[in-house]
Amino acid sequence: MSLVIADRWFSRKRIDDDITLLWEPHVVPLLRCNIWHIKGRDRDLLIDTGLGVCSLREAAKDLFAKDILAIATHTHYDHIGGFHEFESCAVHRCEAHSLVRPEDATLLSSGFSTDELESMVEAGYVFDRDELILALPHQKFDIASFQIKGAKPKWLLEDGDIIDTGDRHFQVMHLPGHSPGSIGLWEESSGTLFSGDAIYDGPLLDNIPGSNIEDYLNTMEALRKLKVSVVHGGHGQSFGRERFLTLIDSFMTRHGQYA
């Protein structure tokens, strides 16, 4: 199938005075990661960077005026493609190696193993065509040879670390299960959680290479204790407390935790 050339690779939406969401509209939902920009007094935060098919730095240079810390919620390739464009990168200690040397990436569903595909279909993702992007970023782009560039982390994160923008404080929460080094950023004062792929409003992946159900169940229990008012996830729409609790409950039920 021949793909059209996209006019613009990234879309964006202003959430409030400080928070902007960027995403890649021409990417299927499975790989369409939410990229969060948080404006701070002294420095900005960038949470995840998308596939790296196009330069994020260039596309959003008006936003990236300040000193910026780019934080990986985890290192699945749909989240880390743009980290090589940023000097200050942070990732959980457990996944530092795969930020430096990313896992194999594919923009074709035929590039996944049968087991991976099965797990993703079972979770609720649909693969109705081979290509996982619906447009090309430019004429010369070659889907088949796509790979992710590595990036060197400056900061290896651990549970409990505080990320300070000057006027906002985010606590790093280690949320393993989806992947070993998944993290969330929790701002208690506003009840805001940036949750990466630990929890989002869409099919959660708990049976892919590197995921662990036991850890995931513990993560869900830890999340439930937070006085969340809004969750900005790694994929899909943001949601409030009620939906948060529903998503946790349905995960627990699916894994036989409730009668």
Least distance CB 248 / Zn ion (angstroms): 18
- d(Cα 156, Cα 86) in Å, to the nearest integer? 15
- d(Cα 159, Cα 181) in Å, to the nearest integer? 10
Q: Which is nearer to Zn ion, 85 or 197 (CB)?
A: 197
Which token pair is 120?
Answer: 């993703």
Q: Which is nearer to Zn ion, 6 or 94 (CB)?
A: 94
Q: Which is nearer to Zn ion, 40 or 202 (CB)?
A: 202
Map residues 181-210 to x or -, x wherever contact with Zn ion holds by CB under 5 A: ----------------x-------------
Least distance CB 234 / Zn ion (angstroms): 6
- State the DSSP string of 108-126: BGGGS-HHHHHHHHHHT--
Least distance CB 25 / Zn ion (angstroms): 19
Q: Which is nearer to Zn ion, 46 or 199 (CB)?
A: 199
The dihedral sign for the CA sequence 49, 55, 59, 61: positive
- Binding to Zn ion, residues 57-86 (CB under 5 A): 76
Least distance CB 189 / Zn ion (angstroms): 28
Please name the residue that has the structure tokens 């923009």.
107
Least distance CB 257 / Zn ion (angstroms): 22
- How many residues belong to the site for Zn ion (CB under 5 A)? 2
Confirm or reject binding of residue 48 to Zn ion (CB under 5 A).
no
Least distance CB 76 / Zn ion (angstroms): 3
Q: Which is nearer to Zn ion, 101 or 138 (CB)?
A: 101
Q: Going along the chain, which residue ranges are E strands?
A: 4-5, 11-14, 19-23, 35-38, 44-47, 68-71, 88-92, 135-136, 155-157, 162-164, 169-174, 183-187, 192-196, 230-233, 239-240
In the complex, residue closest to Zn ion by CB? 76
Q: Which is nearer to Zn ion, 40 or 233 (CB)?
A: 233
- d(Cα 76, Cα 67) in Å, to the nearest integer? 25
Helix 241-254, helix 213-224: angle, nearest 10: 150
Which stretches of the chain bind Zn ion, using CB under 5 A? 76, 197
